[in-house]
Amino acid sequence: MAIIRAESLRALCIGQTLTESVPGRGNGAILFERVPSGLITATYRYSDLGKRKKFRIGIYREKNRDDGLTLNEIRERVIQLAKTAKTHGDLSQYYEGIKRKQELLILEEKRAQELLAARGTISDLFEDYLNDRLDKAESIDEMKRIYKKLLENNPEILNIYAAEAEPWHIKQLITPIYNRGAKIMAERTRRFISAAFNYGIKSENYIGRPCSKSYNISSNPAVAITIDRVERKIKRALSEEELSKLWHTLELTDRVGPIITMLIKFIIATGGQRVTPIINSEWPSYDLENKIAHLHHSKGRGGATNKRDHPVPLNVYATEIMNEMYRINGGMKRPWTTRNNSTPISLSSLKNAINRWLQSEHAFIGDKRIEPFTARDLRRTCTQLMAKYGIDDRSSDEIQAHGIGGIVNDHYRNNPMMTLPRRKKTMVQWQEILERVILV
């Protein structure tokens, strides 16, 4: 087979072919063919394991302005193909394999870029955790406040990838809080961070998780942090005289409004109920006709996903307070609010009201200022007064929703409404105790 010239190729009619051998023994040949479209195609024809095979090279460029390959470019290309065929055999399979590898590399690179873009920072992790806890944690406002402060004071740390967080990063977040003397807040912050990282470790296996961020956290860096603090045993309880003074003078205190005053009185009147269930409850929870507050608790195993009913009979004091609250906030979504959108009174507002009273001229017994206390201490005060005046521990625990978890209560004593007669009796006794204490 002679060497083909350009003139010979241009003379080809549709369906005609020309063949040119590739230099070297057994290297095959180039097949030129004029196809119906008028173009001349070039195909490499070779032998692999005794079988004749073809591999398309491309289009022969007849004119300079046309697309395709020149005759010399086709020959050079075929020489390389012949070498490849001797080494790798079937050219179609060989180049298809290369193509698949290239496509796989492109996909892997794309996936790597997507993973990099989806990598979550510590800030992303905290926000993801808070969004997951919106309907589950009663302390969500406190968590949000902690996160906001961390972001304000340490943006450079919160912007690193969560997977790269180490104990020393967490230490940097917490140490300034500890150094200003807020040891309890430092521990709360550590617990928040630890809970968020625990969530991040597990969350990526949750089906249906709305967040697309990937954390790839291998271990919780907050677990290694220990905060040295002196545990303060909480023993504060108000004396009868202190409780009476608070009841009668709280509303006289500057910057303590009537709603917050009645909230504190309601806590006392109902035997020291937990604050959060009270302020979160909407009006339908307060049955003023039957004089029952249907509160709900998420203490104990199961948390907020397993809220438990806690009916509280309303005695005379509590009923009078709720009737007054209905007069003030009857048109709101819930009684315990000072905002147009009916959001609950914040725990900080309750704390501020007590502190303002403690700093006022009313917080004195004789010439001695009353020692500080918190809303939690009011609950303890009620417990101790019940014990002092003869209410047995079981009745006291029942009215304050102590021990509401456990197998027996969950599976056998799981209808609190059946205990209403006993609870009403307890509240009558508590009413008599309050009359004795407050009216002295």
Closest CA to 386 of 240, 248, 244, 275: 240
Residue 209: per-residue pLDDT: 66
Lowest-confidence region among 177-191, 303-317, 326-340: 303-317
Provide the β-strand partners of residue 56. 43
Q: What's the predicted TM-score (pTM) here? A: 0.56
Strand, helix or coil for residue 20: strand
Strand ranges, E, within 307-392: 308-313, 364-365, 368-369
Residue 26: per-residue pLDDT: 87
Given a contact cutoff of 8 angstroms between Cβ atoms, the answer to whether 387 and 260 are in contact is: no
- The two three-digit tokens of residue 54, written as one number: 């073809």
**pLDDT band with cut points at 50, 70 and 90 for residue 303:** very low
Strand ranges, E, within 186-252: none
Residue 210: per-residue pLDDT: 65
Cα separation, 418 vs 415, whole angstroms: 6
Single-letter amino acid code for the residue at 62: E
307: number of Cβ within 10 Å: 15
**pLDDT band with cut points at 50, 70 and 90 for residue 136:** low
Residue 57: per-residue pLDDT: 94
Residue 410: per-residue pLDDT: 44
Cα separation, 170 vs 155, whole angstroms: 13
Who wins on pLDDT, 70 or 308? Answer: 70
Residue keyed to tokens 């504060």: 236
Cα separation, 233 vs 304, whole angstroms: 27
Average pLDDT (264-277) is: 96
| Statement: residue 351 has pLDDT above 90 | yes
DSSP string, 86-114: HHHS-HHHHHHHHHHHHHHHHHHHHHHHH
DSSP string, 26-43: T--EEEEEE-TTS-EEEE
Given a contact cutoff of 8 angstroms between Cβ atoms, the answer to whether 55 and 42 are in contact is: no
**pLDDT tens, position by position, 51-88:** 999 999 999 999 888 889 999 999 999 999 999 999 99
Cα separation, 72 vs 301, whole angstroms: 82
207: number of Cβ within 10 Å: 4
Mean pLDDT of the chain: 88
Cα separation, 224 vs 201, whole angstroms: 16
Residue 379: per-residue pLDDT: 95
- H-helix or E-strand spanning residue 370: none
Single-letter amino acid code for the residue at 135: D
Lowest-confidence region among 127-131, 135-139, 284-288, 406-410: 406-410
**pLDDT band with cut points at 50, 70 and 90 for residue 299:** low
Cα separation, 275 vs 297, whole angstroms: 11
**pLDDT band with cut points at 50, 70 and 90 for residue 125:** very high
**pLDDT tens, position by position, 157-211:** 999 999 999 999 999 999 999 999 888 899 999 999 999 999 998 877 666 666 6
Average pLDDT (36-63) is: 93
Residue 412: per-residue pLDDT: 37
Cα–Cα separations (whole angstroms), residue 401 to 258, 299, 375 = 27, 9, 16
Closest CA to 182 of 145, 157, 155, 223: 145
Cα separation, 393 vs 48, whole angstroms: 95
- H-helix or E-strand spanning residue 386: helix 375-388
Cα separation, 231 vs 417, whole angstroms: 38
| Statement: residue 300 has pLDDT above 50 | no
**pLDDT band with cut points at 50, 70 and 90 for residue 118:** low
Residue 202: per-residue pLDDT: 85
- The two three-digit tokens of residue 102, written as one number: 């290239």
